[in-house]
Structure 1
Amino acid sequence: MVSGDRRHTETRRPVIRPPGNRPMTRRFLQSLLTITICATLSPSAHAADWDQFRGPNATGVSKDSKNLPVNFSTTENVVWKKTLGTGIACPIISGGRCIETAVTGKKGQEKFNVFAFDALTGKKLWQTSFPAGKLPEITWPNQHASCTPCSDGERVYVHFSTIGLLCLDAGNGKHLWTHKTPMPFYLLGWGAANSPILHGDKLFFCLDDDLDSYLVALDKYSGKQKWLTKRPEMLGGYSVPVVVTSGKQTDIVMAGSGKLKGYNPETGKVRWNCNSLLRTIMTTPAVVDDKIYVSVQSYGDTARTLKFALLQWRDTNQDKKLDKTELGKAFWKKFDKGDANKDGFLVGDEIDDAFQAKTNRVGGGNIIQMIRGGGTGNVTKTHMEWNLNTKAPSNIASPLVVNDQVFVIKEGGISAAFSAIDGKTQWPRRRIRNLGHYYAS
């Protein structure tokens, strides 16, 4: 029996997959966003929702993984597909609905859109649109519709950078509430791509930018803020919160510059921190029971602090120093803080002084780690089970942990696997069949 066998159409279950197995190219990312749904077999269409970024608790693992297609492309094993607009957010499935976002409209007249389709048939159920306002310039390959929605089956939650967090009725798309969030600013112009998650009766959202990073919890019904915790030590990053339970303790865990932190979900207070990460964090940890697996690539070595990246990307006249005209106006206050001699330039360590906390000045590298959840205070020495310095991690694609193995893949189609128990190499880095860019998590 194969997953595309039409003799079993009554038991097919949709699974979200990228539109084809070809390498991701710049032209493709800038073209129209397409949702492709591939056929699988399952007795129930709602057996296992995929209701947030990377599915259940961001693991990337489905609870109903039988009879997934081995081969699929733009035509093979495709049940339906829709062309929507521009964007790189992941679609989700919740309560039988496939939900996705996209930007439509001419430049200067753009709209943010949230779409809902019947997950089995592709029938459009609703579309809700919002004026985007003035959109900032962002760096490719990011797009303005890049934040993956989440849903509890009754409501849909999504973030758009110029609006904030939105809640819609999952049944009809009606706009229920908006929680305005500050416009994010990134020194390297990356743009927003941070996705919310649900846990209990709260919506959690972390936005680590280069100006004012924070983690916030909202009442999922009303949008009322429960708490907001600043993250001043963090630079721009894109990790998504994960939920970790160890014994009787449940934490909201966030990876960020230099540190993995566990927060009390009721109060937002930091319970513990593991000071073992690198400068730029774009990947999301994978959680199995109380074990947290982190895979990170941050360009450069341990000595490559932020100043090297900023001089490379922002020093337009190549004089080895920065002035205010080379940075956005939003950063001028931080510029003044770092300009110790008040000569109007940031030189050398002044660059790091302006934008990186002295207590968390970390560089680049390549690591895979396993850290036990729980505890209090600094758990770096007590809860890190193993740490690998390896070139295997991607700077964007998050790890996958299945059957006591940690799988990673990076640009160029280079993959590797390690023991989830002790970090030993299961099979070394090797190329898979398709080359090109790999951003899927």
Structure 2
Amino acid sequence: MHRYPTVAEVTESARRLVSRFPGAGRLRRIGTSRAGRPILMLSVGHGPRHVLVVARPHPDEPVGGATALALAERVAAGDRRSPATDPETVTWDIVLCLDPDGAALSEGIEAATAGPGATLARYYRAAFRPVAAEQPEWAPIVGRRLPESHALFDTIDALRPVLQCSLHNVDAGGAWVQLTSGLPGLAAPFAASAADLGVPVQHGTYDALYWENPAPGVHVLPPPDSTARLAAGSENIGRSTWCAPQRYGGVTAIVEVPLWSTGTADDPAPHPDPARALRELSHLVREGGRHVTAVFDKARGFLPPAAESPPGRVLEWMADDLYDLVADSWQPLVRQAESAPRADSSPALTTAGISALEVVARRQPLRAAGLLLRLLDATGDPASVALRHELDGLFTTWCTDFETSLRLRPVPVRTQVELQTRTVVAAAECALMR
């Protein structure tokens, strides 16, 4: 496996699996996207307990389709090496792509990340990630109910899964798991699988900056009354599809594996000067955002209106306040580092934690620049040529700096899928014992 399968390839593979294992699998439509695309779910096994797997919740994170097929194959073949994959005990319900509209706008990402020639530049030129209000898992948090979100909520209510696994990629860093409640016993097999496959476990992560951290790479959502929820993303995170299984005693695991690993993702040593590093990263994300926004402002007159352009809406959203929001979110950590230099054990202030935040600081302007380059390529306006040349120079420099500063190493697709598959099965084993 040298590349990720496309949504169409995942769907066709699911159809073939149903034909190859008569009676073991069922493929059905559980909903329809905003643009009328089907949202399909493959159910494998006939057990009374359900594990729900959600692939491609973010269109710029393509590993989920391949992992979904690996899991389905294992259960359909009657694998009883684990009680979790025994088809007589557990039914695995696998949503093949939660955001097919977003995936269509990331068309080409599979080829861009294929084989040893994959580069950050190719990835960011192909990737598309919608605004928060158009992300099916996250939209309910900001008060919007998408049809994709409705389909997943309805599925959760019908199945009452003991475990929901949301399959994600991080562009660079290490592997980690976020949980909506504790799964005792998961940390050891997760760490062992990562070590066996040569993928670093991420110590500290922006995505769960203030969540509870019972073991390296394992993060647990704080209780509902905790102020840490706000810092982790939103005080309304309980409205997300992640938290829906809790109504039935279930838990959600968000399983992240990296496209590229970083050289210090698993370095737990205290950072020598975290306050200075955080201030520099804040400046880095603001300055990068300022440069992209300046080019975007010059191009607004000949680009499609944001109302008609999902990439345009992303650029508007990022230009509005996203860069400042990211930088400002680190100020409590700066104050923490300044008040207790070298004495604080917070994972965010370790060498690994600072490197995870550096990924975010470098990623945000690159996401915007990649989208804007695509828009400039598509317009025929003569003014776009000079703007594209200006932005392409910045983009290339930023990619090189990213690769050099964090010592990026590509993680083979096969390795990503194997680690994610093992982690999901281990999580299911733990959830079934709760």
TM range (shorter): under 0.3
Higher relative CO (Cα under 8 Å, sequence separation at least 6) belongs to 2
Instruction: Tell me which protein shows more helix as a share of its residues.
Output: 2
Question: What is the TM-score when the length of structure 1 is the normalising length?
Answer: 0.26
